[in-house]
């Protein structure tokens, strides 16, 4: 089957990325994973608050550090406070790591010859251009 498709010109070659390109891709992939983990942490905090009635089901406010402070001020007990603080610390740590990676992605963007082309599109910033280029 493969030989037939190849003979008919229906198969295209693939380009294997260089080691440098693969290393650069690590940053965008890792950032994406960390952002996903941060979202999961925010959702866990929200779920615990819904579980104990600290947030109404209709409450659509984005989970933020300010909201967590408000929730902790109304904490129903020490155990709840400890659990939320533990999740919050992980969230803060993820924020720091994401910022580090984003700074490195910005540095990568400076070195990329195609950066100017990507950034010429309205709404495409340094981070988006890194994702597009890799």
Q: What is the pTM of this model?
A: 0.78
Domain boundaries, position 69: 18-133
Please report whether residue 62 resides in a domain: yes
- The residue among 110, 103, 109 whose CA lies nearest residue 133 is 109
Distance CA 75, CA 71 (A): 6
Please report whether residue 7 resides in a domain: no
- The residue among 127, 130, 48, 40 whose CA lies nearest residue 90 is 40
Please report whether residue 6 resides in a domain: no
Q: Residue 16: enclosing H or E segment and its boundaries? A: none
| Average of per-residue pLDDT across 51-59 | 91
Please report whether residue 122 resides in a domain: yes
Task: Give the pLDDT confidence score for residue 118 in this predicted structure.
Answer: 75
Please report whether residue 9 resides in a domain: no
Identify the band that residue 81 occupies on the pLDDT scale cut at 50, 70 and 90.
Answer: very high
Task: Give the pLDDT confidence score for residue 23 in this predicted structure.
Answer: 84
Task: Please count the structural domains in the chain.
Answer: 1
Please report whether residue 77 resides in a domain: yes
């Amino acid at each position: 089957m493969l030989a037939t498709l190849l003979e008919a010109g229906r198969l295209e070659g693939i380009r294997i990325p260089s080691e440098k390109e693969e290393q650069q891709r690590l940053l965008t992939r890792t950032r994406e994973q960390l952002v996903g983990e941060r979202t999961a942490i925010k959702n866990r905090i929200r779920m615990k608050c819904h579980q104990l009635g600290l947030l109404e089901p209709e409450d659509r406010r984005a989970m933020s550090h300010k909201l967590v402070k408000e929730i902790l001020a109304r904490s129903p007990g020490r155990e709840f406070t400890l659990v939320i603080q533990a999740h919050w610390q992980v969230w803060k740590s993820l924020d720091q790591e994401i910022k580090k990676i984003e700074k490195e992605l910005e540095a990568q963007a400076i070195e990329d010859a195609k950066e100017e082309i990507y950034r010429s599109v309205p709404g495409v910033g340094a981070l988006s251009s890194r994702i597009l280029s890799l």
